[in-house]
Amino acid sequence: MELLSQDQTQETDQSWPSDRFQPQNTERRTLEQLWHAGHLQRHLDALERFYRAKRQEIQDLLANRQDTDSLVEIAKQLVIKNGIVDRIAETVDQIEAIESEIWIQGERGNYDRDRIAAEWASRHAAEWREWRIKEYLYATERMQDRLADCLQMAS
């Protein structure tokens, strides 16, 4: 069963590379709350590894632009293009979401774990992926100061 739903989209907005991934006001507030509560910081190390691995691609896309806004925009575009930043962590998080649904269904008397998992994947995997990308994009905005460090060659 493929849990990870991945889509590639084109840039349509300056601050958010795709309308699809541009959070609505309530989503933006939720992302801000998650950030201030410390829940999105767990993505920073994975994003940093991702951007370091994409260093050359970022530099090529930046060309001669040196401004932070361009760097953040290109970083966001790469997240959307790739759809996955940390495959292992994302898979573990999806499995936890499925296990939670299995537990909830079990409390209701439904014990068919395979069917519950398949239903979760078909109903929620794409939305889960979209939300995770929104988390990554928001965290990317907040890690502007670390992005430039990701472009430096490893010592």
Tens-digit pLDDT profile for residues 35-60: 999 999 999 999 999 999 999 999 99
pLDDT digits (tens, 9 = 90+) for 81-108: 999 999 999 999 999 999 999 999 999 9
Parse the chain into domains and list their residue ranges.
24-150
Helix (H, G, I), strand (E, B) or coil at 60: helix
Instruction: Please report, for residues 7, 18, 113, 118, the alpha-carbon distance to residue 81 in angstroms, rounded to integers and kept in the order given.
Output: 8, 10, 33, 26
